[in-house]
């Protein structure tokens, strides 16, 4: 998934820890095979290369992550959208070249993007898409979803006091034996401001453009795409989310950056158990 993952566990012996962590990393690898948009042979890439407008079977894992994506997509008014694969690839190319995409090329990529062009049936584990050439980008939820899966494996191995740090997205289980108040986590929001949290059986994720931005024609653009425009955000913004699961913290942090501070109530009303904080400049555009 283009980043590092670290697992910390409290176990009765080193062999027990090694076996459990190996199983957890294997689970992460399996989910990367499902969700990766860098691998042409991943399930996400393969299924969208099939015939459009007909139902296709998908794995339980792909069905599960898509169902969670739909929840955040609806709650955010479209600010979170994993069906922006064509726009993601176009914006990556723009960041490398230092030039904005041609308007006609951008318009064509937008025609092939958007969750409104996908229909999923989680119960029957199948998908149908409106046109060919679409793509999925789980960059806003994949790390958290994979960390949740790895944590479940550790728990099944009997190791409930564990921490998974997946590129800065952190999922923790029971508190360490020597820290009954919870894991002490030093995190930085997306603008670099440090803070300390103490958590157990929870997750925290941050999002922002502190280290990933590009200047094009004198304007600063974030690596974070607004799905509604297809371009990177042009304002500074950062979010920190604490939730009961990694996928939720990850996705809400991504959506919060696009929504901006003034629109965050959209998410808070839909996910009242999550603590969502956003700092930065106003949103690039209002949310309906």
Mean pLDDT by runs of 10 across the 288 residues of the chain is 93 98 98 92 93 96 97 95 94 91 95 95 94 94 98 98 95 95 86 85 88 81 88 87 98 94 90 92 52
| Residue 47: closest CA among 115, 130, 123, 127 | 127
* Structural contact between residues 164 and 148, judged by C-beta atoms closer than 8 angstroms: no
CB-based contacts of 207: which residues, under 8 Å, 6+ apart? 140, 190, 224, 238, 239, 253, 254, 256, 257
* Structural contact between residues 81 and 73, judged by C-beta atoms closer than 8 angstroms: yes
Write down the residue that tokens 């989310």 correspond to. Answer: 241
d(CA 221, CA 29): 32
Domains and CATH numbers, the chain: 5-12+160-280 (3.10.520.10)
d(CA 190, CA 66): 26
d(CA 198, CA 184): 5
**Partners of 133 in the β-ladder:** none
pLDDT of residue 224: 87
Instruction: Find the helix or strand (DSSP H, E) in which 278 lies.
Output: strand 275-280
* Structural contact between residues 115 and 82, judged by C-beta atoms closer than 8 angstroms: yes
For CA atoms 65, 136, 214, 267, give the dihedral sign. Answer: negative
For 118, phi then psi, to 5°, come to -115, 140
For 237, phi then psi, to 5°, come to -155, 155
CA angle centred on 104, ends 215 and 234, rounded to 5°: 25
d(CA 117, CA 128): 9
CA angle centred on 31, ends 176 and 251, rounded to 5°: 70
By the 10 Å C-beta count (0-12 exposed, 13-18 middle, 19+ buried), 16 is classed as: middle
pLDDT of residue 287: 45
């Amino acid at each position: 998934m283009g980043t590092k993952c670290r697992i910390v566990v409290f176990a009765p012996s080193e062999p027990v820890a090694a076996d459990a962590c190996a199983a957890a990393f294997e689970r992460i690898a399996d989910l990367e095979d499902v969700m990766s948009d860098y691998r042409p042979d991943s399930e996400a890439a393969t299924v969208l290369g099939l015939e459009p407008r007909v139902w296709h079977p998908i794995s339980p894992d792909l069905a599960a992550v898509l169902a969670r994506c739909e929840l955040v997509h609806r709650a955010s008014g479209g600010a979170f959208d994993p069906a922006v694969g064509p726009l993601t690839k176009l914006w990556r190319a723009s960041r490398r070249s230092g030039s904005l995409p041609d308007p006609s090329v951008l318009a064509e990529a937008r025609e092939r993007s958007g969750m409104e062009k996908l229909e999923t049936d989680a119960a029957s584990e199948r998908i149908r898409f409106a046109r060919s050439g679409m793509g999925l980008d789980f960059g806003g939820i994949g790390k958290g979803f994979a960390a949740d899966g790895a944590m479940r494996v550790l728990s099944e191995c009997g190791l409930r006091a564990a921490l998974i740090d997946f590129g800065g997205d952190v999922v923790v289980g029971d508190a360490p034996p020597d820290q009954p108040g919870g894991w002490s986590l030093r995190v930085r929001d997306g603008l670099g401001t440090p803070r300390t949290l103490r958590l157990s059986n929870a997750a925290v994720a941050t999002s922002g453009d502190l280290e990933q931005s590009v200047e094009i024609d004198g304007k600063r653009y974030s690596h974070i795409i607004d799905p509604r425009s297809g371009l990177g955000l042009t304002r500074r913004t950062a979010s920190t989310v604490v939730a009961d699961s990694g996928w939720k913290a990850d996705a809400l942090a991504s959506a919060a950056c696009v929504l901006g501070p003034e629109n965050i109530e959209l998410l808070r009303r839909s996910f009242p158990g999550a603590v969502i904080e956003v700092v930065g400049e106003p949103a690039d555009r209002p949310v309906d």
